[in-house]
Structure 1
Amino acid sequence: MLSLSFSLLLLLNLAAVILAADRFSRGDFPPGFVFGSGTSAYQVEGAADQEGRKPSIWDTFTHEGKVHGDNADITCDQYYKYKEDIQLMVDTGLEAYRFSISWSRLIPNGRGPVNPKGLQYYDNLINELISNGIQPHVTLHHNDLPQALEDEYGGWIDRKIVKDFTAYADVCFGKFGDRVSHWTTVNEANVFVLAGYDGGYLPPQHCSSPFGFNCTRGNSSTEPYLAAHHILLAHASAAVLYKEKYQDKQHGFIGINLFAFWIVPLTNTTEDAIASQRAMDFMIGWYVNPLMYGDYPEVMKRNAGTRLPTFTNLESNQVKGSIDFLGVNHYVTVYVKDDSSKLEMELRNFDADMAVDITLAVTQKDMSSSEVRECTLNCRDASLNQFSITPWGQETQRNSSLEDWPRVKYLHGYIGALLDALRNGSNTRGYFQWSFLDVFEMDGYESGFGLYYVDLDDPDLKRQPKLSARWYKHFLKGEGVSSHGFIELETNLSAHAHHFQ
């Protein structure tokens, strides 16, 4: 059987002459396709130590001063402002809202009693969304493990997490599943473990020399593989629970989310072509191969050896086929070259096992429509025609301007390319722009991805729409848009620019 990555590379190299849509509208998309936007609990809620919530690993990380001295104790304060924000969603025309549940708000110690205040908040949020005609799409773990479980047994590096995550998921399915039909178990599972357990530059900041970044604990050679293995087992356990106990009566779907670098060979040499296949296997096949076929890619097993955990037959059968959809976050295309010399290192981590060098990164603002189309079509292939929900966004400097033309052009280019992909066989079912508000990001409050600016100097944290919010509203309300030099967009939107001052 061809490896997943080799199949993807073959598809990438297939010749295709497909013209990107110049003019399109919301009505050009197929029935059932949803457009939305998203945030995550730690990044947007605030109320970090209020009404029963206890710390997550992100609280600990930021309170140690690791993100420019910033934290998300208040951030956008959506915990108290959710009704106001939902009215902005209605005005924008959002059809769905992707958010996460704070595990340590709902079950403060990670296991045990449910926090009534946390339960009430998410009940209220979901009910308010539905009463305004907006679908709730829920993520269970968006990088914010309860600190209590990290302290007790190391969180995701210990198999105990499978039982605790499944119990948490059971509470969510039982309490909210009568109104929530789309569940994502873990957000960006691949990047979460690499950043948190290999490089150590994000929580829980596990790593080891010479690979990591100023860590006091961890093992970069083994822990990323352990954490990923337990994420797959926890996801599968929650999915089995959902399918056996809830799906028949709730009629929902369950999946997982990955960060999808699109990987291109730096040169046309055989070595770089093979390296690109290998990088695809390591970055995406690491999760997708077990979810589709029940085991890790052969090249990972060969290069990582005994450091890569193995599935029992029962575990393999549980993991295989445990997704109804594959969520894909995409922000960047990378060019890679072969560096097989890394395999000669006596001590290796994930990067050395992958044995490639990333020589150039192309940001989303520089990507062509064809690259977006290829990524979407091939993620379709990776999920074996099961649908993918795709949250993509563009970064700008937070206080640069409310007239965010780069984001407008980005939205137009990506959505147009997505329509092109759908017309050519993609089974994508939704597009979620990241993010609805300017939230707390990996660099604190230096950058923003939001449709709406949040004034942190205003005691009321006033929300101000950017031009991208107006463009998205223009599109979602069914008005046609044209890519021809963006002249039409500028004409239509400049008249409204004074509203954003």
Structure 2
Amino acid sequence: MLRLYCLLILMLNLALPVLSVDTYSKEDFPPGFIFGAATSAYQVEGAAREDGRSPSVWDTFSRGGGDVAVDEYHKYKEDVQLMAETGLGAYRFSISWARLIPNGRGPVNPKGLRYYNNLINELISHGIQAHVLLYNYDHPQSLEDEYGGWLSRNIVRDFTAYADVCFREFGDRVSSWSTINEPNIFANGGYDQGVVPPGRCSYPFGLWNCSKGNSSTEPYLAAHNMLLAHASTVRLYKDRYQSKQNGVIGVTLYALWLVPLTNSTEDETAAQRAMDFLIGWFVNPLVFGDYPEVMKKNAGSRLPVLTDQESKLVKGAFDFLGLIHYTTVYIKDNSKILKTENRDFNADMAVTISFTQDEDDPFGLFPVEYPQRPWGLQGLLEYLKQAYGNPPVYIHENGQVSRRNSSLDDTSRVEYLHAYIGSLLDAIRNGSNTRGYFVWSFLDVFELLDGRGSSYGLYFVDLDDPSLRRLPKKSAHWYSHFLKGGRVSSSRTLELEKTFGDSSSETLVSIG
């Protein structure tokens, strides 16, 4: 089976190098397919010390960098109006656990409850679906201080209770729930490399200096507890709420497409091993009830064991898989590292990752732009179809990064979105069960890795303006035209509309 998937990776890389759909419109997608945009609480809300909100681990990690963010807490009505003018069918946002239940468990904060009710009601009144993420790197600092957050089994209980409040208070108006955002990256980045909250790592593995942690064991333990918390939450929703509220629930994973650097057996096997570590870490238990065999072999006793009871709880605990996909990277075998006695998650995976086919070009944290490889999205979706039975999928984040500046001419972002949405259409026509697509991000937000250093937004936020004015970039005009039924093309002969106007399906808008 391993060899079969290795061959599949290679064949997809060879078979899908070119986008076959060039000109298309929203109407080419299946009925009911949802298009939207996304943000998350700490990255947009601000008001970090207002109305009863307590500090989260992200506040602590960033030393208050998101205290204001882009102030959606006070500007949500303006932002929802902007979403409606853009033509969004859905808005994906997260709830701040520290705003809703400041102590992590116990009393609900009435002002936090009112804010999320107001936001959801505002979305619904404008015909925009609410797709809600329960958790994005931001559990209350009090739980981290009390028992170590995701390193303790106690968080399974507290997270499920927090989710129960959200389902009870908001579920009658929420179309879709995600439990935990990119737990595969959160576990690795937060507990091995130390580059995201809560910033734990140990020498020599951390990319930054950490004051505490154990990179060899903590990523696996934290991920195990996330998996159990996810499954417990899904079971609660299905048992108590789903039949009345008619929503769906899943988990969202960070999902690069991984291509062997060469056609050698070693690199092909390494690419499959990397898929098992990065995707199979969570999807294998959800589909098959256990971790991938290669993870159990390489990590040994450092990987917690799913008991029979836990396996039954986890297996099948999803209605959909959410994917966060930005680009494709190249994988080279590094099996020799397995001879090292002291290893972390990345050493157990035993690969080298690079953005290009140059072995000396390592995968970096802060790319100036992501390489545009839209065929990789097709490869990823085909892999999920073949390896995991074609589960329902939502693309929860996709977009182009750039250095943050005031330019509204983001042609490269337009080119990127056109190519990836077209590739998604190809994948759907080839049988992928993908049901929605969300651009990251609706606004220029406070980014996870570098704060205000990078930008993904359709809308520029003027940080020098006291009102934090939102200005549409070229990508906002392009996406709005597409969302309103206009046809789009990669032809560069026509100029993009400058304002929101008539977006007749007969109008052709081109890039450039």
TM-score after normalising by structure 1: 0.94
> In the alignment, which residue of structure 1 is the partner of 2:508?
none
Sort the Cα spacing of 1:380 and 1:138 in 2 relative to 1 into closer, same or farther, 3 A: farther
C-alpha spacing 1:393/1:383, structure 2 compared with 1 (3 Å): farther
Cα deviation, residue 9, structure 1:
2.9
Partner of 2:30: 30
Question: Where do 1:37-436 residues align within 5 Å?
Answer: 37-63=37-63, 71-212=65-206, 213-361=208-356, 365-390=370-395, 391-436=397-442
Match of 2:475 in 1: 468
Residue 234 of structure 1: CA displacement? Answer: 0.2
Q: Is the 8 A contact 1:377 1:426 kept in 2?
A: yes
Please state how far the C-alpha of 1:426 moved relative to its aligned partner: 1.0
CA deviation map 1:255-275 (0-9, x unaligned): 001000111111111111111
Between the aligned partners of 1:16 and 1:239, the Cα distance in structure 2 is: 35
- Counterpart for residue 450 of structure 1: 457
Tell me the distance in 2 between the aligned counterparts of 1:447 and 1:359.
20
**Distance in 1 (alpha carbons) for counterparts of 2:144 and 2:387:** 32
Report the 3-state secondary structure (helix = DSSP H, G, I; strand = E; otherwise coil) of the residue aligned with 1:75.
coil
Change (3 A) 1:49 1:337: same
- Asked if structure 2 preserves the Cα contact closer than 8 Å seen for 1:18 and 1:420, the reply is no
1:178-208 residue CA offsets vs partner (Å, 9 max, x unmatched): 1112000000110011110000111101111
Question: Judging changes above 3 Å, is the alpha-carbon distance between structure 1 residues 291 and 11 closer, same or farther for their aligned structure 2 residues?
Answer: farther
Q: Residues of 2 paired with 1:252 and 1:476: CA distance?
A: 23
The whole-number CA distance in structure 2 between the counterparts of 1:14 and 1:427 is 22
- 8 Å Cα contact 1:325/1:383 also seen in 2: no
SS in 2 for 1:429: strand
How many residues end up aligned between the 2 structures?
488
Partners of 2:468 and 2:60 in 1: how far apart?
24
> Helix, strand or coil: the match of 1:229?
helix
Q: Separation in 2 of the partners of 1:287 and 1:3?
A: 21
Per-residue deviation, residues 22-50 of structure 1 (Å, max 9, x unmatched): 21111111101000000000000000000
Q: Does residue 1:477 correspond to 2:484, yes or no?
A: yes
Residues 163 and 234 of structure 1 are in contact (CA less than 8 Å); yes or no, is this contact kept in structure 2? yes
The Cα of 1:297 is off from its aligned counterpart by 0.4
Q: Per-residue deviation at 1:11?
A: 6.4
Preserved CA contact (<8 Å) 2:164 2:236:
yes
CA contact (8 A) 2:178 2:249 kept: yes
Does the 8 A contact of 1:8 with 1:382 survive in 2? no
**Is 2:10–2:260's contact at 8 Å kept on the other side of the alignment?**
no
Question: Taking structure 1 as reference, are residues 248 and 8 closer, same or farther at Cα in structure 2, changes over 3 Å only?
Answer: farther
Secondary structure at the aligned position of 2:204 is classed as coil
For residues 29 and 131 of structure 1, the distance between their equivalents in structure 2, rounded to whole angstroms, comes to: 25
Gap change, CA 1:388 and 1:3, over 3 Å in 2: farther
Name the SS of the counterpart of 1:478 in structure 2.
coil
Aligned mates of 2:438, 2:130 — CA distance in 1: 12
Please list the CA deviations of residues 345-389 of structure 1 after superposition, one character each: whole Å capped at 9, or x if unmatched: 110001111111124358775333322222233234455222111
Q: Distance in 2 between matches of 1:235 and 1:340?
A: 32
Conserved 8 A contact 2:97-2:140: yes
Residue in structure 2 matching 1:492, options 496, 507, 511: 496
Unaligned residue ranges in structure 2 (runs of 5+): 357-362, 502-512
1:249 shift after superposition: 0.9
Tell me the secondary structure at the aligned position of residue 131 of structure 2: strand
How far residue 328 of structure 1 moved from its aligned partner, in angstroms, is 0.4
1:67 aligns with: none
Q: Structure 1 residue 107: deviation in Å?
A: 0.3
- What whole-Å deviation, never above 9, does each CA across 1:272-326 have from its counterpart, x for those lacking one? 1111111111111011100100000000000100000001111101100001000
Deviation larger for 297-306 or 4-13: 4-13
How many Å separate the matches in 2 of 1:495 and 1:84?
18
Change (3 A) 1:142 1:86: same
Contact 1:455 1:462 in 2 (8 A): yes
Q: What SS class does the counterpart of residue 432 from structure 2 fall into?
A: coil
**Which residue matches 1:66?**
none
SS of match in other structure, 1:464? strand
How far residue 495 of structure 1 moved from its aligned partner, in angstroms, is 7.8
Structure 2 CA distance for partners of 1:400 and 1:34, relative to 1, 3 Å: same
Q: C-alpha displacement at 1:19, in angstroms?
A: 5.7
CA distance in 1, matches of 2:5, 2:60: 37
Contact 1:365 1:406 (C-alpha < 8 Å) held by counterparts: no
The TM-score normalised by the length of structure 2 is 0.92
Partner SS for 2:192: helix
Q: Quote the residue 2:505 is aligned against.
A: none
Contact 1:380 1:388 in 2 (8 A): no
**Contact 1:285-1:297 at 8 Å conserved across structures:** yes
In structure 1, distance between residues paired with 2:190 and 2:374: 32
